[in-house]
Structure 1
Amino acid sequence: MKKIAPLLYCFVAVIMFMSCKKDNYPGGVPYNYIGMLDLRGIYDGTDKVLTKEILFGGEKIAGVVISDHRGGNSPANLLILQDARRLNLIRGIAIDLGANAADYVPGDSLEVDVVGATLTKVAGILQLKGVEPADVKLVSSGNAISVPIVKSNAIIAYPDQYESTLLTVAKGIFDNSYPSGTRYVGNKILKDGFGSLLLHTEPTAAYANDSLPFLSNFTGILLNYNTDTVPQLWPRSAADINILALVPPKLAALIITGYLADVQGTSVGDSSYEYVQLMATRDIDFTVNNFSMVTTNNAGAATPTGFPANGWATGGLRTYKININSGTISKGQYLYVGSNKNIWGPGSTDISSAKWFTKAYASTPGDGFGNAATNLLANSGNAAGIAIFDQTNVTADSIPVDVIFYGGNGSVYSPGPPARGYRITNTDYYDTRNPANQALQPYFNMGSNTGKLGFAGANFSKLGGTYSILTGRWSTARTLTQVPLTLSSPLSVLEGATTIEE
């Protein structure tokens, strides 16, 4: 009996091992449906004729249709589905169904028998061939489709993840090389501030001969054709193109490129030594074209407390305005706005050789509103901000030409009624309309306008990006670099991160 028991245990173990060995599906139990995440993972660079064993025991895929041949801008003969069956990750697949691909419309839920089909790449696109019309079953229609907003740098980094899925690229503009009146038809370079893709339009698309707009949200199917080095986005019809602006907006003549909010890490250093760095995008005579800079500090004890009833013009210890109404500046030149002209507080490098506009903010009230205070810029706690206006008469309804926020949260926006908060403009971080649903959102912290930079401590906050004076947009969004300073730091460490695109 003692000899039989070990043999029996070994026999059972072998049977269990053999059973487990046949089941490679990550879930551990074969299932009749295979998620598209797993289906795409089967392809290893060589064609695969799909069997139940290769499909981990499955036979079918199930997904919602995203292709739409009615608009004239879907790849010929391809039916494209997506699902989020595995790990809630959206993945898609193209199916060569010939002319029958046009029988299905977005929102149709389908089951497709894929046993016997071949998983292959054609012109760079992963797809199923050998699926017959009888293998496709319509389950229901009118289903909702998940359409995420994806930045182009994420698409370029992970093109396979996004291939054959429906997505939106927000705030897209076309390359500056296209002259006015250029048509959609063909491949056009599309930029969103984070990278570049190709927007593809077939001659059969109803909008193919429409002129390119200035700024739009583009929804479409992402395809990785091997004829191009970057992915293509295919809007299915004109309805997938949400035009935000037909023509370029007003240019920002002054843009925010950096600031020092905490000098030497001490309150003594902060007093009269904080400053903001701006750059001119054109030649300006400030005696003719007046500008102003407003800073906001939303510390809990800053008065008036609560939500800013008059926005940037709230005054008190909440907002402080400096009029810029004298002197001149040339395009590409930096302008520093502050009090004392030292790089990092008392005893540090004199940088008066730079272009400055000064105001003794620690002892003098703001121009029109704002109490004198040792802190021009908050360096901890709730959200703080800087706004540039192309006027000196700033009210609750004034719209800045550039604006940034940094720090935490605080009482910065109330939906009301009436709504109260700090107005924004269209920048690399903010949108006056929500890219997802086009709802108006004119205030910071309203809708999608939640972007802000972090505190930089006792370092200079250097904002590097590329501003296009042709389009009035940041073709490369600003990013924050914390530059450590010392008493002997030269002026050059503050400059050079921002460029102007012409």
Structure 2
Amino acid sequence: MMKNKLKYFLLLAVVLITYTSCKKENDYRYKFSESGFISNFDLRRYYKGSDLSLNPDIIGGATSIRGVVVSDFRSGNSVTGLIALQNSRINGTADSLRGISFNIGTAASDYIPGDSLHIKLDGGVLKRVDGILQITGLTNSAITKVASGRKIKLQAANTSAILANPDRYESTLVAINNAVYDPEPASDVIYSGDKILNDGFGLATLRTSANATFANAAVQPSGNFTGVVYVTGTGNSKKIEYRMRTAEDFFYVPMPKLSPAIISGFLVDPNSTDGNYEYVQFLATRDIDFALTPFSVYTSNNAGATTFPTLGWNTGALRTYKFNLTSGSVKKGEFFYVGGAGQRINGSASTVIPASKWISSVNYTTVPGADGVGNVTGNLLANSGNVAGIAIFEGINVTPNSIPLDVIFYGGANGSFYTAGPPEYGLRITITDKFATYAGKVPQEYYGKGTNDVSKRFAGFPAALSFARLGGVYKATKGGWESVRTMISVPLTNTSALSEIETGGVTTLIDK
């Protein structure tokens, strides 16, 4: 009897799950048939790799699609015959912005960015042509323009993200920031043809038609690009084809100055109860005599962050702590350390880090930060709670407007670290493997502003009794990152050797 009841309940559970799943799908179908419109997000789900003839029975009762044009034929650099149309789900689902291209031949040039279109789908075919997912078989008669001048949502993405999820970015308007040409162009190189962009995460082919109005304009070596993304190929052969619409889709931004030292790791939770053993590891990209060229290092743990940092990195108190680096020396490729006076790898009973490697060590549990920036503290680097940061500056006379040479953030997503104001307050950033100081032509010079949101931190905290290793490859000649940093916890004990945090997946230099 009990076995029969158990079978009944299991069968009922399966039926309910199946019903719920079907109901969810049917709800979408009902919405499509009720409104007549389907989003790009949902239409793309129906494509399974082979040509799909479109009719209401195939696509959940939908008859049409609506969206905003992002392609632009006026400068002669759009893909022949293709309208790139992007939209989001009408139910406001997060991250539902998607694009699809429509091949309608020469009539595609009748439409410009910001045009709002309704397009009847019946009779069209959803297929890939030259790698681009598009709808063919429709004519201009299927299109109704209902408005113009609609606002276009601009996504920002790096090349790695685009290749990892091409359906999300294909046929949409995307900003690729802090990119350089690879190889570096000579002064007389023009846009016309294919050029390779490198944003530190991967490569994209910037394609410019010989007939584009800006084809003969000289390129500049680095900056922020805006364009329509297409992804061709499959698997490891996937490539990004990227098309600027006009010359104004490029905004020159100098790549980061070559920083003499970069942040390569840190210890937030050593095996000690008396404080004074937390530290930051740096990698020198050139020989440095700190007596001749001093630097400043700041930490920010945002402890008790209920107000905004009105003085930026100089806010002090429990929010930021400053070290001045004014003596000692280091050779290119060597690691050096800034932090507590304990000078040990993992707390009071652990291996000593040689004194020659310490450029600044301060008992922060009894001594305030340099120049009065920072109260005494037992928690120099946060190991829980709000977002925390580390920055290095050239010189010791740092102001709220000074731009760091290198900066990272890690930890939680909260804390009062930025306000748009007015007045605007925050912790300044620079161009790094994580941050861009412009999104297109819009400045975003603070952590938390624009695309420099909380997602750009190293999420979470390193494990207890572990060194946070930031492995990456830095270009020691030009500056910038050949491959980006990632945070990995390296477990430490009292007997751990220094080699455990200075070898094996650590940040390295490349001479380019």
Same structural fold, with TM-score higher than 0.5 when normalized by the shorter chain: yes
Indicate yes or no: 2:270 matched with 1:267: no
Equivalent of residue 372 in structure 2, options 369, 372, 375: 369
Structure-2 change in CA distance of 1:190 and 1:345 (3 Å): same
Structure 1 position 109 matched with structure 2 position 111:
no
* C-alpha spacing 1:377/1:62, structure 2 compared with 1 (3 Å): closer
Give the partner amino acid of 1:139: V
User: Is the CA contact (8 Å cut-off) linking 1:467 and 1:499 kept in structure 2?
Assistant: yes
- Aligned residue number for residue 337 of structure 2: 336
Deviating more after overlay: 375-384 vs 89-98: 375-384
User: In the alignment, residue 143 of structure 2 is paired with which amino acid?
Assistant: V
Q: How far apart, CA to CA, are the structure 1 residues paired with 2:210 and 2:290?
A: 50
* Residue equivalent to 1:231: 240
After TM superposition, give the deviation of residue 234 of structure 1 in Å.
Answer: 1.3
1:321 Cα shift? Answer: 3.0
Q: 1:453-498 deviations in whole A, cap 9, x for unaligned?
A: 4332332111122222344323433222122111111212212421
**Structure-2 residue corresponding to 1:82:** 86
- Cα distance, 1:432–1:159 mapped onto 2, change above 3 Å: closer
Alpha-carbon distance in 1 for matches of 2:243, 2:80: 12
Change (3 A) 1:294 1:54: closer
Find the structure with the greater CA-based Rg.
1
- Look up the SS of the partner of 1:182 in the other structure: coil
Residue identity in the other structure for 1:235 = M
Counterparts of 1:87-102 in structure 2, within 5 Å, are: 88=93, 89-102=96-109
How many Å apart are 1:42 and its aligned residue?
A: 4.1
Shift of 1:196: 2.4
Contact 2:297–2:391 (Cα < 8 Å) also in 1:
yes
Q: Secondary structure at the match of 2:114?
A: coil
Kindly provide the CA deviation profile for residues 267-295 of structure 1, in whole angstroms up to 9, marking residues without a partner as x. 32x22x22110011112222321222233
Distance 1:135 1:193, change over 3 A: same
State the one-letter code of the partner of 2:350: S
The match for 2:486 among 469, 479, 482 is 479
Per-residue CA deviations over 1:54-91 (Å, capped at 9, x if unaligned) read 34444433332222111111011222323324665233
Q: Residue type of the partner of 1:342?
A: R
Matched, 1:144 2:151: yes
Q: Percent identity?
A: 44
CA contact under 8 A between 2:98 and 2:167: conserved in structure 1? no
The unaligned stretches of length 5 or more in structure 1 are: 1-19
Tell me the CA shift for residue 387 of structure 1: 2.0
Q: What TM-score, normalized by structure 2, do the two folds share?
A: 0.81
Letter in 2 for 1:233: Y
Q: CA RMSD in A?
A: 3.2
Aligned pair count reads 471
Question: Are 1:173 and 2:184 matched, yes or no?
Answer: no
Corresponding residue to 1:422 among 427, 430, 434 = 427
In structure 2, the residue matched to 1:500 is: 509
**Structure 1 counterpart of 2:442:** 438
1:500 Cα deviation from its structure 2 partner: 2.2
Question: TM-score when scaled to structure 1?
Answer: 0.82
Q: Any idea what SS the aligned residue of 2:291 has?
A: coil
CA pair 237-382 structure 1, distance change in 2 beyond 3 A: same
Q: Does the alignment pair 1:240 with 2:249?
A: yes
Give the gaps of 5 or more residues in structure 2: 1-21
In structure 2, how many angstroms separate the alpha carbons of the residues matched to 1:218 and 1:120?
28
Per the alignment, residue 15 of structure 1 pairs with: none
Is residue 455 from structure 1 mapped to residue 461 from structure 2 by the alignment?
yes
Does the CA contact (< 8 Å) of 1:171 and 1:192 recur in 2?
yes
User: Which letter does structure 2 place at the counterpart of 1:300?
Assistant: G
Task: Report the Cα distance in structure 2 between the residues aligned to 1:42 and 1:366, rounded to whole angstroms.
Answer: 60
| Cα shift at 1:438 | 0.7
Partner of 1:321: 322
Change (3 A) 1:225 1:410: closer
Q: Distance in 1 between matches of 2:44 and 2:215?
A: 32
| Residue 389 of structure 1 pairs with residue 398 of structure 2 | no
* 420-429 or 197-206: bigger deviation: 420-429
Alignment equivalent of 1:195, drawn from 175, 182, 202? 202
State the distance in 1 between where 2:220 and 2:128 align. Answer: 34
Deviation per CA, 1:334-363, whole angstroms, max 9, x where unpaired? 111232332111221223187222433244
